Homo-oligomer: A and B are copies of this chain.
């Protein structure tokens, strides 16, 4: 039985992880949970899963959580009463909890960085859903992984697809896994992209794109921010950077291909020209489960794929003019160091400004480009964690300032 800690247990990744634990009660038990402010859901999770330790980001909420646990019939003397911790130290304690075998990191944003590093330093295996861990902090995290022997298992569908396809390579042994060492025999990664909300729009039509248009994803049900990232293809750009760090592959060997049906979740081309692909319905539960069951496969009653019903899979090259964010991501990735952190943070802020209707959809790449451009002179190739976090903050402010100044004066071509 595998002992699981879930960081960000009340978020999308966290709740799906706990659903999987309930589907496989003889395989998994929950030993640790951490959450933000959703005490109602957290207390229900505690009463169901009876973890050994629970951490709240905001320490001051602990008394309220205790009240809620009593309402679930848990008494303080109860053996099911968990150790309750607060703040960063508390979350780090859950991340490195001695009894856990696997840490699922569902915390969004830079807040997930420190706990993820705590888990790595404690030698825990990780199901990684926090993208900042590699995109912003790749140069910090990779040496730590190498040192501790901790293994990063990708919990998002594209990198899971690649990871599943690479299981066939005899060199995907435990020691090499996710340490950025080039994977012998891997020639190219083909990241599939749905094309997002605007895949059938012309470049000209994008001038009239609204928030409502950009937040309607054709295939996946996701949060608004990620849905906008799909529409700009920045999600794919960020995945390119993540793939670079995870699988130790050069940027020129990572390609994006538009695949509107989102059935093939990504592919690898091996050195002998053979291509392996992983297919499935667009559902995050499968990649999360695979992190948890890896290296074996569990039996699930989930909906099975029927290609004869799907009938058709389409592919085309992405239009670089239509999706400038894609190119920005490749450039930031190639520069390395702190540049991907700037890309990621400026994108988050730009999308927030777009969702607030402060900037136009077509301004998103402009403000990101400007932030990356300005960061060039401060580029730090071997940052530490504090420097990554500080660069992240700088980039968000840089975007805000630009928005206040009026972004439309910024040209992508300057």
Contact = CB atoms under 8 A, between A and B. Distances in A.
A264 B267 CA distance: 12
Contact of A271 (B270, B273, B300, B315): B300
A404 interface: no
B315 A298 contact: no
A274 to B, nearest CB: 6
Contacts of A308: 257-258, 315-317
Contact of A277 (B184, B276, B303, B314): B276
A41 interface: no
Contacts of A313: 312-315
B302 A272 contact: yes
A405 interface: no
Interface in A26-50: none
A174 to B, nearest CB: 11
Contacts of A361: none
A168 B165 contact: yes
A370 B7 CA distance: 65
Interface string A209-228: 00000000000000000000
A315 B307 CA distance: 6
Given A168-B164, A168-B168, A311-B314, A298 B277 contact: no
Interface in A164-194: 164-170, 184-185, 187, 190
Nearest to A273: B302
A1 interface: no
A274 B164 CA distance: 9
Given A168-B164, A169-B297, A305-B269, A286 B311 contact: no
A161 to B, nearest CB: 9
Interface in A288-328: 289-290, 293, 295-300, 302-305, 307-308, 310-317
Contacts of A257: 307-308
Contact of A274 (B166, B168, B184, B290): B290
Contacts of A302: 272-273
B278 A279 contact: no
A400 to B, nearest CB: 38
Contacts of A108: none
Contact of A275 (B185, B258, B278, B316): B278
A276 B314 contact: no
A110 B164 CA distance: 39
B297 A185 contact: yes
A257 B307 CA distance: 8
A248 interface: no
Contacts of A273: 280-281, 286, 300, 302-305
Nearest to A160: B274
Contact of A278 (B276, B298, B303, B307): B276
A312 B258 CA distance: 12
A274 B296 contact: no
Going nearest first, the 4 A-B pairs with the smallest beta carbon separation are A167-B168, A185-B297, A275-B279, A307-B315
17 contacts: A164-B274, A166-B168, A167-B167, A170-B296, A184-B296, A257-B308, A259-B307, A269-B304, A272-B289, A272-B297, A273-B280, A273-B281, A274-B286, A274-B297, A276-B279, A277-B278, A312-B313
Interface of A: 164-170, 184-185, 187, 190, 257-259, 264, 267, 269-281, 286, 289-290, 293, 295-300, 302-305, 307-308, 310-317
Given A164-B168, A169-B297, A313-B315, 9 more contacts: A164-B276, A167-B167, A185-B297, A272-B297, A273-B302, A274-B279, A276-B279, A310-B315, A312-B312
